[in-house]
């Protein structure tokens, strides 16, 4: 899976210190993957939950620095963080090529692609421990208010 690690890193413009986080992030729920001494029996579910929260925090920080009303933040959060948008971003970035599907899986479903994008954001957060790095990756992927047009 070394090619998956490199492929994801190339797409998001970030090089991981802990490549196991990438392996976990691209492991769909239901897939059983081991990397080193770590196993991910639930795939990327935990990282996706973390990534969803980090995504919302990054968007809230961006909104906080402006003058827009709360309703604007809610609209941005719902649009950028929606499963439809995350799925579209994942496909447009070709991240689907690196998703490790559960046994018998042949295509990456919209929900799996959305969870994988969230998991990648969570993995960057854990690896970099720096919100500016997370925001740079989000910008690279088009996960910002500015990307809404």
- Single out the catalytic residue among 20, 24, 96, 118: 118
Of residues 20, 24, 52, 96, which has the active-site annotation? 52
Please confirm, yes or no, whether 24 is among the known catalytic residues. no
Q: Confirm whether 52 is a catalytic residue.
A: yes
Q: Output the DSSP codes for the chain.
A: -HHHHHHHHHHHT---S-HHHHHHHTB-TT--EEETTEEETTTTHHHHHHHHHHHHHHHHHHHHTS---HHHHHHHHHHHTSHHHHHHHHHHTTGGGG-BPPTT--S--HHHHHHHHHHHHHHHHHHH--HHHHHHHHHHHT-SGGGG-
* Catalytically annotated residues: 52, 118
């Amino acid at each position: 899976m070394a090619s998956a690690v490199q492929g994801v890193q190339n797409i998001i413009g970030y090089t991981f210190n802990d490549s196991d986080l990438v392996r976990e992030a691209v492991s769909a729920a239901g897939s059983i993957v081991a990397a080193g001494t770590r196993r991910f029996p639930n795939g990327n579910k935990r990282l996706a939950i973390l990534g969803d929260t980090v995504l919302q925090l990054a968007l809230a920080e961006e909104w906080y620095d402006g003058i827009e009303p709360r309703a604007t933040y809610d609209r941005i959060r719902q649009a950028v963080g929606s499963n439809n948008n995350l799925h579209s971003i994942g496909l447009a970035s070709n991240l689907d090529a690196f998703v490790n599907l559960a046994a018998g899986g042949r295509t990456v479903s919209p929900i799996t692609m959305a969870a994988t994008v969230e998991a990648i954001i969570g993995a960057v957060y854990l690896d970099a421990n720096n919100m500016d790095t997370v925001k740079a990756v989000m910008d690279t992927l088009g996960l910002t208010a500015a990307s809404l047009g």
